[in-house]
Structure 1
């Protein structure tokens, strides 16, 4: 799902590599006992800091005590509700992988998972192999002499599932969402985004990171046998190469514009635009036949084509060499993985220590065969009653959203009719796919970790390429069942809730309605509202990139969203660094609209039960518990360096601001807690934002 990087809106920044969505319908068995899983992140009144005032800062009242007692573990860069559920999902998945690895007669997906896990855990064999598993790749790079050589190498690397310089994958056509086409997307940068190459950054931080990056490249090349002086020169060449790519790249904020994600060209025109990299040859090498595709960022690809012609072969070799080494470093001898960790995790993001070996291997299993693992996961860990209750909640939220759209006083009847068309065509997916992907043809064994990873990469790439030119398979998922997240895909107009997120604090079949509506209810609303955020609102009921707004209504919408941009621009996250309101706008619209819709659905549920929401549980009213669980979802500590990277790259605002951003715009919150005009959590007048 290439475009999931830019278009699909997830609830939170993903912590694990996203895996592509075996055959046969899934049937969830009764959940297995979970004796050794880490604790849940459930709301608990004992965690509240009663010295703080909810009307001043809801996040501090609900989370400050817990956050002070739960610093970021050494093997992570963030810690909170999402990460606690990640730990549970990971531990459950480990048990499945260990059992598969120990099974002598395993076949099918059990053999696949067992082979990946067993070879990943065989450190002695990995250490003994050294650099040998990628030596053929390095030898080929060393033999590159001409632009044609380099172009052929890049084509072959993509066909092997290892792409350099840019990204390429299948996704729905923006203009005809029922069909899959190819998308070429900018890439090739090692650092988080273009500013890290072109600016010195606050207190010279980006300059320091660039210097550390050059040292990392040199050290990693030396690990592969390059002499120190030559490694230093090559490292400087790599930085210069990536800096040139950065100058031609769009920023994360620019990439949020769908117009910058889609640029359809005929194959003939693409070949004319890239004389040094004929795209028809690229498609042929990847086993694809097509008349055209999206060359999504023309400026970037024009520069790439020039670089094939005017960058010396030796500089290309340096860039491709470090990509080959760093790309496989986590799967090679320890010195390679350690060096990669030292720069990308410790220096860049502030992670103090590597994750346990088994956790790193499970990340690889997830990235290589995540849905195969998910098929085994849901049989043990997803009760059927959870899916049934979720379906009821989704319907309740749908009804509440419909009512809100119908009552909007700033939108014309003409645009409302189109909005309702989109509402009527929402597709919810809950727990796991109805149809599992087939892994037939992927051969793995116990000979080597890198061999298995390469086999999976090639297989997954071929699977993706086979979609191009075909109708969209609406049964596919873009996340695995064991992923603690949720997403909206505007090209499918679908909202998706993997099994692993359907646990406290998000969802608990035994919890009072306030907690479930403040948790998973708000998540359901959040994903629905992505269909009407600043990006999703540009796609119609069929998932096509198509304007369905009157000019006046769009102007009114943008004036309201501008106030939300300003609200988040004003939040200071760390060291005088502000949240970027434009970068986080889509998520903030979804939070605000989603929480409002869930509140309405919750009030409807209370009314049906003959209740007011004023009844108290553990000393707090049900209405208060709704908002307190919303804040519990967003309790999260970050390392300072991780937070700084996310401020530049993550379309989600830091969690503490998500906890307060939406409630502070809701009169119902002020009423629930008895807040008064002038309180920090009460936004009034022009500062109060109401959109959906």
Structure 2
């Protein structure tokens, strides 16, 4: 289905380009029972999944050779994940030691004694520690502290009268109680544990950030000393735990959710200790259900299916593949990239990225609202932009330490891998940032910009039709992967990326007047999307502004590049731009994305952005009597 062309109703383009291009596809597209959506991105995911599942089976059976030590360990783990008979016979055995460990906590002192190991093992804690480039000194890794995740997707679900909460929490409650009963609790005790866990979750919710709040990077940087962070609670010795984890007492910890830590002491009170323990139990049975027997996996997927609208859980074989490939993601990505993408395509796309950067430089040079000094800094940032295409030259060394123990359970292996990975992460505190280290596997259908590193990443998986193909015209390719490439470049200059300099430091390189003008343009972008009705709700313009700015910049710059080609055809450019965003999704999934996703709905990404480009109107002869018309004064053109 990925490459199949569907008829386009050119008469409808003036009314709604998305429906005109994707209407025929939408009518015939069916969403598989274990999917929440189908479409441009998801079709690629499905194709790659089929390819890698087939290859994984052949690797397992020996008809394909695992040609690296890391791939051999993946194959061992994949075999374990597919040994359903053994997994079913073991039932809950592998998770019971973790449950016992939680049950045996008598007070906060008990947890305190185990805290470093608890964190390294990846067990639930009422706070989170992570490493990332220091936002003020991006060449060095700093420690970050934040709150824990909630049972619901976002804190906004907990607001009074929220209908999604009223629909979803009973499903989460029933599922969690059933899982606890499956590990040995009677129904009454299981229900009590879930009630307590939800109470603790409700206490967390008011003080963590919503998706909209978290989308504002300028509010992330709240440095504290270790002593200041440790003073957030007297019942846990955070200073000692951090010292043990990173081998020193950091002068600075970046606290992304300061409000949460201001309320941590009242959360971690003696009265709440049992609530916290039960919260941990619910987290554990939910998190690890997919590693146990098939009946655990089916029950443990109930809430996720309700959230996304999926009618069925994945087939066991597919779930086993994702369990194994997700654990060895870089290893599988390296295999995929080298076998199915290759050096030639990698060099070709790398050249395309460099060309798009050149187009962006030209547009910055010709920009009419930036002052010369700000323009100079913007071009300097663009010139130092790191490029990662296809797959890494070498996979992350940590995978050489992942040794699959076939005599242990899947969960025991996962916990061991988690400990190895966390020890490796914390060992990098205060050490130079590995800018070239890949964080996304090559078989992932996605791309991203990292503001702290000033790099753009394009995994091999997205570099195929309809985004990119030698069988497509240059204009179609620019409307596809060209716009995606320029989108990621634009993130360096969106409302978040623009806060960081060429090194990835949080550093204002704008003149006051330029930044004020940019803020006004960003506000216009918020207004353009804010409140658009969709899936029974409304688009949040503030939540989606950074991605909308990147879409606008990406589309505009890709069009400029397309027009430079001798075979330029803007009809094909706009058509393929619209085609890559085709998506048919279940209502539940659309509503979930509307609440938490920083991207606007796919159909609106396609149809709203084109209205900002003057060439769209001349290409399709759109006038002020057509529905797709937008008054020139309301067109948002930033980059």
Provide the TM-score with structure 2 as the length reference: 0.95
Structure 1 residue 245 corresponds to structure 2 residue 204: yes
Contact residue 208 and residue 260 of structure 2 kept, 8 A: yes
Aligned to 2:556: 596
Aligned to 2:472: 511
3-state SS, counterpart of residue 364 of structure 2: helix
Aligned residues: 634
Aligned to 1:211: 170
Contact residue 199 and residue 275 of structure 2 kept, 8 A: no
Structure 1 residue 582 corresponds to structure 2 residue 542: yes
Aligned to 1:361: 320
The RMSD of aligned alpha carbons is: 1.8
CA change 1:144–1:660 in 2 (3 A) is same
3-state SS, counterpart of residue 224 of structure 2: strand
Contact residue 443 and residue 455 of structure 1 kept, 8 A: no
Contact residue 476 and residue 572 of structure 2 kept, 8 A: yes
Structure 1 residue 194 corresponds to structure 2 residue 141: no
Distance 1:547 1:366 in 2: 41
Q: CA deviation at 1:170?
A: 1.3
Structure 1 residue 101 corresponds to structure 2 residue 51: no
Distance 2:475 2:481 in 1: 10
Aligned to 1:140: 101
2:187 corresponds, among 228, 244, 262, to 228
Q: CA deviation at 1:362?
A: 2.4
Aligned to 1:667: 614
3-state SS, counterpart of residue 351 of structure 2: helix
Q: How does 1:146-545 map to 2 (within 5 A)?
A: 146-201=107-162, 204-291=163-250, 292-345=252-305, 347-438=306-397, 439-447=399-407, 448-545=409-506
Aligned to 2:624: 677
Q: CA deviation at 1:277?
A: 2.5
2:7 corresponds, among 47, 51, 54, to 47
More contact order relative to length (CA 8 Å, sep ≥ 6): 1
Contact residue 572 and residue 579 of structure 1 kept, 8 A: yes
Distance 1:210 1:678 in 2: 47
Distance 1:311 1:263 in 2: 30
Gaps of 5+ in 2: none
Q: Which whole-Å deviations, capped at 9, do the CAs of 1:367-402 have from their partners, x for residues lacking one?
A: 311111122222211132212221221122112111
3-state SS, counterpart of residue 637 of structure 2: coil
Q: CA deviation at 1:441?
A: 2.6
3-state SS, counterpart of residue 472 of structure 2: coil
Structure 1 residue 129 corresponds to structure 2 residue 129: no
3-state SS, counterpart of residue 301 of structure 2: helix
CA change 1:305–1:150 in 2 (3 A) is farther
Distance 1:373 1:188 in 2: 28
Distance 2:290 2:168 in 1: 21
Q: CA deviation at 1:410?
A: 1.8
Distance 2:412 2:60 in 1: 17
CA change 1:342–1:272 in 2 (3 A) is closer
Q: Which whole-Å deviations, capped at 9, do the CAs of 1:626-645 have from their partners, x for residues lacking one?
A: 11101111000111011111
Distance 2:4 2:253 in 1: 48
Q: Which whole-Å deviations, capped at 9, do the CAs of 1:639-679 have from their partners, x for residues lacking one?
A: 10111111110001110001112111101111111111232
2:599 corresponds, among 652, 660, 667, to 652
Distance 1:570 1:43 in 2: 34
Q: CA deviation at 1:91?
A: 2.0
Distance 1:63 1:129 in 2: 48
3-state SS, counterpart of residue 440 of structure 1: helix
Aligned to 1:551: 512
Q: CA deviation at 1:43?
A: 6.4
3-state SS, counterpart of residue 312 of structure 1: helix
Aligned to 1:623: 570
Q: CA deviation at 1:512?
A: 1.2
Q: CA deviation at 1:466?
A: 2.0
3-state SS, counterpart of residue 79 of structure 1: strand
Distance 2:473 2:277 in 1: 61
Q: CA deviation at 1:683?
A: 1.5
Distance 2:302 2:313 in 1: 9
3-state SS, counterpart of residue 436 of structure 1: coil
Distance 1:644 1:519 in 2: 26
Contact residue 53 and residue 321 of structure 2 kept, 8 A: yes
Distance 1:85 1:566 in 2: 33
Q: CA deviation at 1:285?
A: 4.3
CA change 1:144–1:477 in 2 (3 A) is same
Distance 1:317 1:300 in 2: 19
Contact residue 171 and residue 302 of structure 2 kept, 8 A: no
Distance 1:356 1:245 in 2: 35
Q: Which whole-Å deviations, capped at 9, do the CAs of 1:145-177 have from their partners, x for residues lacking one?
A: 212223445532211133433332211000000
Gaps of 5+ in 1: 1-38, 614-621
Distance 1:53 1:570 in 2: 24
Q: CA deviation at 1:497?
A: 0.5
Distance 2:401 2:222 in 1: 34
